């Protein structure tokens, strides 16, 4: 019930209190939840950026249709696709699996071949980026749930121009492409959305039992 209460409490915060800051330890737990999130093949084809610079946040706000959450929230996190789909990157992942689980990389050769086959089987880089972006959506859901459990407000954002944000942060040299933003902080008392009842389907409309 505590979990459901937290999910009922959360909403897409539109106005943050600029004076209230999320403790670093709390922020680290939220990011850790994202790191622990499920992703296809466990490959984690994404990275999270924590934008601390006020200058950069102002610039990103301009690329986000001037939405105030970008600058007013305590922290601005950006979820990016890591567009390195090379066999070398897959090999690094296999080594991480082997080291973590104290296994021989040779015993994971079948798994490695399967991953390379899956990634290589996607028709082009656009499809590979779309596949990776889906993992970012799973991850942001995990992080938003962590925020709710921490009683930290958040607002998932697709409303920005990815190419402009990429240029502002010079992400091409890092082989990253931004797909989602997650401002986190604490709701402002004047944000009227916090008082609106949550609108969702009834369970009978939402769940079909076969």
φ, ψ of residue 79 to 5 degrees: the values are -95, 125
**pLDDT tier, 14 (very low <50, low <70, confident <90, very high otherwise):** very high
Asked if pLDDT for residue 1 goes beyond 90, the answer is: no
**pLDDT tens, position by position, 172-188:** 999 999 999 999 999 99
Q: Do residues 90 and 202 make contact, with C-beta atoms less than 8 angstroms apart?
A: no
Long-range contacts of 86-93 (CB under 8 A, 24+ apart): 87/116, 90/43, 90/115, 90/116, 90/119, 93/42, 93/43, 93/44
The predicted pLDDT at position 16 comes to: 98
User: How far, in Å, are 22, 36, 71, 99, 177 from residue 56 at the CA level?
Assistant: 19, 28, 9, 37, 16
User: What does pTM read for this prediction?
Assistant: 0.96
Options 3.40.50.1000, 3.90.660.10, 3.30.460.80, 3.40.109.10; CATH for 2-84+134-206 is 3.40.109.10
**pLDDT tens, position by position, 105-159:** 999 999 999 999 999 999 999 999 999 999 999 999 999 999 999 999 999 999 9
**pLDDT tier, 24 (very low <50, low <70, confident <90, very high otherwise):** very high
Q: What's the rounded mean pLDDT across residues 7-16?
A: 97
């Amino acid at each position: 019930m505590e979990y459901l209460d937290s999910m009922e409490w959360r909403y897409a915060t539109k106005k943050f209190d600029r004076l209230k800051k999320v403790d670093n330890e709390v922020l680290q737990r939220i990011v850790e939840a994202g790191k622990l999130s499920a992703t296809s093949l466990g490959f984690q084809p994404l990275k999270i950026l924590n934008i601390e610079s006020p200058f950069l946040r102002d610039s990103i706000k301009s690329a986000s249709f001037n939405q105030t959450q970008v600058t007013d929230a305590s922290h601005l996190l950006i979820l990016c696709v890591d567009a390195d789909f090379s066999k070398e990157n897959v090999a690094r992942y296999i080594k991480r699996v082997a080291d973590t689980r104290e296994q021989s990389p040779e015993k994971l050769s079948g798994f490695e071949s399967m991953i390379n086959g899956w990634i290589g089987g996607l028709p082009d880089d656009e499809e590979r980026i779309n596949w990776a972006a889906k993992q970012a959506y799973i991850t942001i859901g995990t992080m938003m749930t962590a925020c709710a459990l921490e009683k930290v407000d958040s607002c998932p954002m697709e409303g920005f121009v990815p190419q402009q944000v990429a240029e502002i942060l010079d992400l091409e040299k890092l082989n990253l492409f931004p797909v989602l933003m997650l401002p986190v902080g604490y709701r402002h008392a004047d944000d009227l959305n916090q008082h609106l009842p949550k609108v969702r389907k009834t369970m009978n409309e939402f769940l079909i039992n076969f």
